[in-house]
Structure 1
Amino acid sequence: MLSRHVPNLRHPSKWMFAPLLLFLAELDCSAQPTYQWKDAVTNEKLTCQQCPPGTFVAQHCTRDRQTVCEPCPDLHYTQYWNYLEKCRYCNVICGEKQVEVQQCNSTHNRVCQCQEGYYSEMEFCIRHSKCPPGSGVEKLGTPFENTQCGACPRGFFSSSDSSTKPCQPHQDCEQQGKVTNVQGNQYHDTLCTSCRLGRSNSTQGPALGDDDCEQAMIDFVAYQNIPVRKLKRLQQILEGSPKKPALGTRAAMQEKFRAFLIHLKEGHYEVTKELLDALRAAKLHSVEEKVRERFLLS
């Protein structure tokens, strides 16, 4: 016959005491903390009550009296229950590029952190890194972490250094009732135009003074796949100066060259004629032909 185990009621097992032990533990946690103290007069060991945060022990307990607590003086604090005979001094001083985020008070020391635009590294505040063109901010920097950058995915771009801007989506020319003049990449936006492009749209090219078409031509030339040194040479010819522009990345050079051409246009120069002549002088014949064909220039 199978036997059944029946608990011995005369000797209860440990599991029966679990609820009682839990209750006593909770009761003990809610009680005021204590500490052991030896009375200097009687040599008697006493259990004294600790002082709450913001106070300190002015007098230890005796057989007849509990602990006497007093508030911390100015610029001093105690953060926890304690049996300190004096409060701690607020010794934290905010340094360079730091701001105070927690004032010194009776229960807390002063707290400092790096000011906006900076983060803490090796006890120094370092300026947040900027994401270079072609990449954007994936996670903004905090007082404790640097900026996190990521390369712009297809359909997005970033054309400048920034510690705050994420990659931006390319604009849609069709939604604006325009046509795409230059397809965007990770470094620049898609550029739209209202200028008539291609022989299928017109049998006559735009006038040299047409502002929208001149801008379209500037954008088209600036973002052609021209080697950096030839792009530098092209700008040198247009400037009419022996001074060579400083080299940089292709994306940076294209932005500078485009800005230079826009400046020429705003100065009422005949940009179209001068640019075609410069392309020929720089021996960029294939680019010159593309411009003539695209903008129907004879």
Structure 2
Amino acid sequence: MGWTKPRTPAPPAAPWYARLATTAGRPAVLAATLVMSMPGEYHVAKFAGWTDPWAYGMPFSLSAYAGIAAVVAATRPKGARGRASATIGAGFAIVLALAAQVVAHLVQTGHMDHNQAWLIALTSMVPPAVLAHLLHLAATPVPKPEAPAAPVTVAPLERVEQPAVPPMPEQAPAVPPAEAPPAIEPAAEEQRPERPAIRYSDPRCAIIRPLYDRGFRPTTGEMKAALEAANLTSPGASTLRGTLRKEIETHEPRLEHLPQRPSPLHRAG
């Protein structure tokens, strides 16, 4: 009796309250953090000189900016245009949000004076910087997936019939029939019977089939050269040997037993 590898038990399913906390807890935490961050960002805008209702735009601009930059950085493929800029922008938005909370709480607890020129200048630059970067992300094109290449369609080859040659007029023999020279037997190539017409599923097989007439099984290089001579794109070696040559030899099994063409090294030995 053979040994059977024991199956790895499936991990137990999480309890319902854990799944509920995962699915419903994330949007709840997101909403809570946005609400908690809004007062600090609002007060920083007030410290910089914005009055109501314009100061309320600071929390929305920072939150929307951080979300858009994070989504762009996560959805664009690696190496695509705009991905590095979006990643930097997402980190910059997090730094701005953190800085706004720290400055607001330091000012409110009396540890920092809000009437400072550098603080007002940096806070005033936040809205135009956010707007410029969002416009840059919007203008950066999103790469589209490349469409698969259309299959190459090769028209079937048509057999060209040779024009009929009219018979030559009969002439008197130059020598008596008894002394006429024996008829010259045609060469072996001329006595080769005409092979039956075969309809291949791939028309490229009709271009490769004449290579067998040389008495050898065609090599990958010979098949590739024949297709390129016919102005066709040559496929890979696996397709040449495993698909085209196999289909030819399926119709004519005797061709599979032809010898391989000897290499120059074998002919020299």
Q: Into which bin does the TM-score normalised by the smaller protein fall?
A: under 0.3
Larger Rg: 2
Q: TM-score, normalised by structure 1?
A: 0.21
Q: Which has the higher contact order (CA 8 A, sep 6+)?
A: 2
**Whose strand proportion is higher, 1 or 2?**
1
